[in-house]
Structure 1
């Protein structure tokens, strides 16, 4: 009888592990641009005490690209150019910052890189930045940003089309 209980116990663990594995497969999407195309569009929001604009292209040529602009008191504070591209069966988000006169913050060959962690039907999670689909016309972007003390702080951008 103990043998039967042990066998049933092991079988239940096997079924439980299989179920968790299946849930993960169903929840996670392949690292393909086609699975994140919902990010594309012209988005507007507020952050850093000003107005933000972020415009993402549809996937083409193995990448998506975006421009970002922050406006404070009627003047541009800074710009960004961002890309998400397919690299070695994964995705990477890369960006560069620019002053109002388009002088780069990073050196010529330097980018700020965010490797992909996971894609779900409503989230694209990169290391240090993630996108969350609220609905067809709203998304949240979360970015880890170093504050003046050197501590990492999570900043939320709420965008609407």
Structure 2
């Protein structure tokens, strides 16, 4: 059977799009073909705590609460030159036999970036011991007192980059 031009065109387009989104080392991309992943909040208890690190030329702080009400809530802030650049508030929620991460951004005055009823949602892609992969966002346990968070950031020019947040437990 000889492949048609349209088949080859679709195949090449799919290959290019896959290469564009799999160019990053530490994150995975959710696709409609991604099979459902079973996980519970118990699989990610190691992210709870008070964490600090550096990114985007400033200091970062992330606080993860223990599970309550089928979710783990978090807050994040970035501080540049002793001024808050932005905040994030969100959760990882148990939905049936899987998890979803949802968040909202706020500027330093708590003015929301997203519309009132909108959230940024990250579907679960894979779970491994010490790693949890959401769509273009990964948590990695280095030790009891250190974690990495990798996230794919989109820029205005259409480019993307994977950013690493290295956090140490803050006492």
- Normalising by the smaller structure, the TM-score range is 0.7 to 0.9
Aligned partners of 1:58 and 1:118: how far apart in 2? Answer: 21
- The residue number in structure 2 matching 1:157 is 165
1:129 aligned to which of 118, 124, 137: 137
What is the aligned partner in structure 1 of residue 109 from structure 2? 101
Max Rg structure: 1
1:65-80 correspondence runs (5 A): 65-80=73-88
Structure 2's unaligned 5+ residue stretches are 1-36
Decide which of 38, 55, 60 is 1:52's aligned counterpart: 60
TM-score (norm 1): 0.80
Secondary structure in 2 matching 1:104: coil
For the pair 1:31 / 2:8, whether they are aligned, the reply is no
Structure with bigger helix share is 1
Return the match for 2:119 from 86, 111, 115: 111
Summarize deviations over 1:31-70 as a string: whole Å, max 9, x none: 1001101000000000000000000001111000000000
Q: Give the whole-Å Cα distance in 2 for the aligned partners of 1:121 and 1:105.
A: 34
Distance in 1, Cα, partners of 2:128 & 2:38: 9
Give the superposed CA RMSD: 1.1
SS of the residue corresponding to residue 131 of structure 1 reads strand
Give the corresponding residue for 2:14: none
What stretches of structure 1 move > 4 A for 4+ residues in a row? none
Q: Per-residue deviation at 1:101?
A: 1.1
Matched pairs, number: 133
Of 40, 44, 52, 2:48 maps to 40
Report the counterpart of residue 6 of structure 1 in structure 2. none
